[in-house]
């Protein structure tokens, strides 16, 4: 599926991305991020892992930019695949986690472009690669953090997307950075009771999703160019769109 990336290689060269990317949550926060990162060429040399057990509902369509109305009632991971195939064609190598070994045998160890995980990440999940979280509760973030904390060297970059209405927060750091990890765990992983009690996407609007997508793509671009100092300055980035 090699595309022509000549216009962007000085900004982001897909060959420089040597890590898989795990998008945990395929709803409003990550929907645009998946498409923008894929469009930059992340599937050329790496694999996108999309995690979400939820079903696409009609009310999701106002914030989840790339999904088609015909996918309402399907798993969000399947809606993500539908969107990727619409843009990149049906030549993509796609499998679900349960059939990954079979896919490897059938394709003679070819790397899949996308692996689907219609399930939750738990503290026992083995995550290997960049992690982008777009989940709707602090409890879910704590589970993801426990999974990362077991092997922080497996995750070179964590991007945590949060929104409540028109207020957003993006947290970006290397989990192997002990000081940043301690701050994240002790200060930024507060309880659901302490956070704004809004359902995922409540009072949200499509430009929040678009903003998250561009910010995730930008951070992954910086990471591939080794600009960790710039990423460190983006450790906690709040924004209010009101």
CATH of the domain at 227: 3.40.50.720
Q: Is residue 20 part of a domain?
A: yes
Domain that residue 26 falls in: 14-240
Q: Is residue 2 part of a domain?
A: no
pLDDT for res 3: 84
Q: Tokens 């409003």 correspond to what residue?
A: 28
What end-to-end distance do the CA atoms of the chain give, in Å?
Answer: 41
What pTM, to 2 d.p., does this model score?
A: 0.94
Q: Which two tokens stand for residue 199?
A: 């359902």
Q: Is residue 8 part of a domain?
A: no
Cβ atoms of residues 21 and 132 within 8 Å: yes
pLDDT for res 1: 63
Q: Is residue 5 part of a domain?
A: no
Q: How far apart are CA 218 and CA 37, in angstroms?
A: 9
Say how far residue 3 (Cα) sits from the centre of its chain: 22
Q: Tokens 């060959």 correspond to what residue?
A: 15
Give me the residues of the chain with pLDDT under 50, please.
Answer: 197-202
Q: Is residue 64 part of a domain?
A: yes
Q: How many structural domains does the chain have?
A: 1
């Amino acid at each position: 599926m090699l595309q022509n990336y000549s216009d962007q290689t000085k900004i982001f060269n897909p060959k420089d991305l040597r890590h898989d990317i795990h998008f945990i949550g395929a709803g409003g926060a990550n929907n645009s991020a998946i498409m923008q990162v894929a469009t930059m060429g992340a599937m050329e040399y790496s694999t996108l892992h999309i995690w979400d057990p939820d079903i696409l509902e009609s009310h999701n369509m106002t914030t989840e930019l790339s999904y088609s109305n015909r996918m309402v009632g399907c798993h969000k991971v399947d809606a993500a695949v539908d969107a990727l195939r619409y843009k990149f064609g049906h030549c993509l190598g796609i499998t679900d986690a349960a059939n990954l070994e079979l896919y490897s045998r059938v394709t003679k160890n070819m790397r899949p472009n996308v692996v689907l995980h219609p399930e939750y990440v738990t503290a026992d999940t083995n995550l290997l690669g960049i992690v982008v979280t777009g989940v709707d509760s602090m409890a879910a973030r704590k589970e993801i953090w426990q999974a990362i904390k077991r092997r922080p060297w497996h995750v070179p970059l964590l991007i945590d997307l949060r929104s409540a209405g028109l207020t957003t927060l993006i947290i970006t750091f290397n989990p192997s950075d002990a000081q940043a990890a301690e701050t994240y765990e002790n200060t930024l992983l507060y309880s659901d009771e302490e956070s704004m009690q809004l359902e995922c996407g409540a009072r949200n609007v499509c430009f929040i999703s678009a903003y998250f997508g561009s910010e995730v793509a930008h951070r992954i671009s910086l990471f591939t160019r080794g600009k960790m100092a710039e990423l460190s300055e983006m450790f906690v980035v709040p924004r209010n769109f009101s």
